[in-house]
Amino acid sequence: MYEISVHIVRLLLGLVFVAGAVNGLFVLAGKRPFMPVNARATGDLVNAGYLYPLVKVTELAAGLLLLTGLYVPVALLLLAPVVLCILLAHMLHDKPLIWAGLLLLALELYLGGAYWTAFAPLFETGL
């Protein structure tokens, strides 16, 4: 049962980030997004120049890795700062949707626990 839940959470998180990345790339291309976006946060990132495309390409790459099941720990490492920024953006600018940031954090932490053997060497002391 645990393996099935890990598989479901991995696919769900991958779908969320692939959909969010494609939606964001629509915004970047000047097209109308197919999902609602936070205009303030999106505008700030777009005005920063390179940052918005970098975040969206990172989300797309990591989401595809999660969907395919390849290099899942790498995908989780790539998404960790993105998830943190999403949570902070909702905490500071979009409180009604803070649940979305908390949900992403919970999914990320769940998968981090499932793939802990890949992360454990990062926390070992000594050489």
One digit per residue, pLDDT tens: the chain, 127 residues?
A: 889 999 999 999 999 999 999 988 887 767 776 666 666 666 777 777 788 889 999 999 999 999 999 999 999 999 999 999 889 988 988 888 899 999 999 999 999 999 999 999 988 887 6
Distances in whole angstroms, Cα of residue 87 to Cα of each of 92, 100, 105, 121: 9, 8, 8, 27
Distance CA 12, CA 79 (A): 14
| Residues ≥6 apart with Cβ < 8 Å to 64 | 14, 18
Task: Find where tokens 């070992």 sit.
Answer: 124
Distance CA 39, CA 22 (A): 16
User: Among 67, 68, 66, which residue's Cα sits nearest to residue 80?
Assistant: 66
- Residue 43 belongs to what H/E stretch? helix 39-47
Q: Is 19 exposed, middle or buried (0-12, 13-18, 19+ CB in 10 A)?
A: middle
Q: Residue 4 corresponds to which tokens in the numbers above?
A: 């099935």
